[in-house]
């Protein structure tokens, strides 16, 4: 299905040339994006971290191109930045928290949304991430954390309490043995109220994860 989508994208790109915005984004380097874009406020939660502020228009555009256009260059840029940031965080955590041999786990999509979109944008980033991680500092696991039911998009639910209700009990672990005793780095693209991250983190902890650190591209 993904191969067919790529062929369709290639045809559309030929018929409808790249927009100026897309050209500008794809000409950027990871270093330039990191230097140029507004960083997220530092969280009081030492086990949660966001790299960029979602108020930055360039970051919003990049997330859009990644999430809805499956833009490979954006995935590469975010993977490079994520790798650099995680190496720094991992160094700190190894010293202070014995955080070794971490497993990277993306927040999953429901089966319905996966069929509709054709891909999980965080998995897309992590596929590029694995190409950079030549020394295998990290493991990846795309299967153990699952979304067991379809929900409304969190951005469509404006009330904080309803967002928490919307996401409650909709995640599960398919293989507890792969989670038990492991240090987990949970990854998502945008943090809003944090309800999704809290729910997925609780599921992982209740399944025996040793430690769970959460990181998002933007907040």
Domain count, the chain: 1
Tell me if 2 is assigned to some domain: no
Tell me if 35 is assigned to some domain: yes
The CATH number linked to 177 is 3.40.50
Residue owning tokens 């429901």: 110
Question: CB of 19 within 8 A of CB of 1?
Answer: no
Span of 44-48, 74-78, 207-211 with lowest mean pLDDT: 44-48
In this predicted model, what pLDDT tens digit does every residue of 148-183 receive, in sequence order? 887 656 555 566 666 667 778 899 999 999 999 999
The closest alpha carbon to 44, from 210, 187, 190, 219, belongs to 219
Full-model pTM: 0.86
Tell me if 10 is assigned to some domain: no
pLDDT in the model for residue 159 = 64
Residue owning tokens 């409650």: 168
Cα torsion through 41, 96, 217, 133, rounded to 10: 150
Which domain range does residue 30 map to?
Answer: 19-218
pLDDT in the model for residue 150 = 76
In the structure encoding, which two tokens stand for residue 147, read together?
């979304």
Tell me if 31 is assigned to some domain: yes
């Amino acid at each position: 299905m993904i191969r067919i989508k790529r062929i369709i994208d290639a045809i559309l790109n030929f018929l409808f040339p790249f927009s100026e915005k897309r050209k500008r984004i794809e000409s950027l380097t990871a270093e330039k994006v990191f230097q140029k874009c507004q960083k997220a406020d530092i969280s009081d939660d030492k086990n949660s971290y966001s790299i960029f502020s979602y108020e930055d228009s360039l970051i919003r555009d990049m997330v859009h191109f990644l999430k809805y256009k499956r833009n490979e260059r954006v995935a590469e840029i975010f993977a490079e930045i994520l790798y650099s940031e995680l190496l720094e965080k991992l160094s700190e955590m190894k010293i202070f928290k014995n955080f070794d041999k971490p497993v990277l786990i993306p927040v999953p999509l429901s089966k319905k949304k996966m069929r509709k979109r054709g891909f999980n944008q965080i998995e897309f980033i992590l596929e590029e991430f694995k190409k950079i991680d030549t020394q295998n500092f990290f493991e990846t696991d795309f299967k153990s954390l699952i979304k067991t039911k379809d929900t409304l998009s969190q951005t469509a639910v404006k009330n904080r309490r309803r967002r928490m209700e919307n996401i409650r009990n909709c995640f599960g672990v398919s293989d507890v043995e792969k989670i038990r005793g492991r240090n987990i780095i949970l990854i998502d693209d945008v943090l809003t109220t944090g309800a999704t991250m809290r729910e997925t983190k609780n599921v992982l902890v209740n399944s025996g994860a040793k430690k769970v650190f959460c990181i998002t591209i933007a907040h």
